[in-house]
Amino acid sequence: MIGIFYLKKHETFTKRKFLGIFLGLCGIILIFTPTFQLHDLRSSSLWGTVAVLAMAISYAASIIMNRRLLSGEKKVDIYTNAFHQLLSSLIFLLIIALILEGPDNIFLAGASTEAIISCLYLGIFSTSIAWLIFYHLITIWGAVRTSTTTYVIPIMAIALDFFFFGEKPKLVTIIGMLIVFSAIPLIQFKKGLSNSKVIIPFFHPKTEKTGSSDQETVSQ
């Protein structure tokens, strides 16, 4: 919500969008309410919640920064943008890993086949391709609509926790999930939306610039 003031030149805000953002925030707070244990500062669930909150702030800062980088006359190509940001992240994480784990524990020399496959999957699909799609959505949807994808992260975590570990969500958590689900359509969809078009990312053939757009659109 704070990012609204930094994106006035790049985004069009309506009461509908603002209401959706507010409801989404309220829903996320309700989802994490059962884990709040302020009386016990050593609680792992408390620090886990703080970590998730820090992640959300980082996502918001990233979306704002990338919206400004990927728009305007001096916009950066999404592939170039992804390369530089992921390379910077690699260097940062490598330094932290060397400090905390030591050089003997950060390489895959003695790792199992499953561990290597997992690392490759996370690197290729969950990071590289995922971020390219995310940046592409920022260019065609804008920062606000793209940010709603992050609302799904805690909901998916709760669902996976239930299916794999059998942990049942509390009533307040379920209410929070329903509020988040009600917030997403307010941000994503416009009144009277019809004959909408969608751009197929990465797979549409390149076209020459004609008029104000150089992207090929395909009707739904």
Split at pLDDT 50, 70, 90, the class of 91 is very high
Output the pLDDT for position 9.
59
> Any residues with CB less than 8 A from the CB of 125 and at least 6 apart, and which?
none
Most confident region among 52-61, 124-133, 191-200, 201-210 by mean pLDDT = 124-133
Asked if pLDDT for residue 194 goes beyond 60, the answer is: no
Is 80 among the domain residues?
yes
Is 2 within a domain? no
Q: Given this model, what pLDDT does residue 126 score?
A: 87
Instruction: Give residue 5's pLDDT.
Output: 56
Higher pLDDT, 211 or 35: 35
Residues of the chain above pLDDT 70, percent: 73
Does a structural domain hold residue 62? yes
Instruction: Please report the pLDDT score of residue 197 as a whole number.
Output: 46
> For residue 6, is it within any domain?
no
Q: Supply the mean pLDDT for the chain.
A: 75
Report if residue 1 sits inside a domain.
no
Determine the structural domain holding residue 59 and report its residue range.
11-219
| Residue range 191-196: mean pLDDT, rounded | 47
- Structural domain includes residue 120: yes
The reply to whether 143 falls in a domain is yes
Residue 4, domain member (yes or no): no
pLDDT at 37: 59
Domain count, the chain: 1
Q: Which of 105-114, 123-132, 138-147, 200-209 has the lowest mean pLDDT?
A: 200-209
pTM: 0.64
Mean pLDDT of 180-202: 63
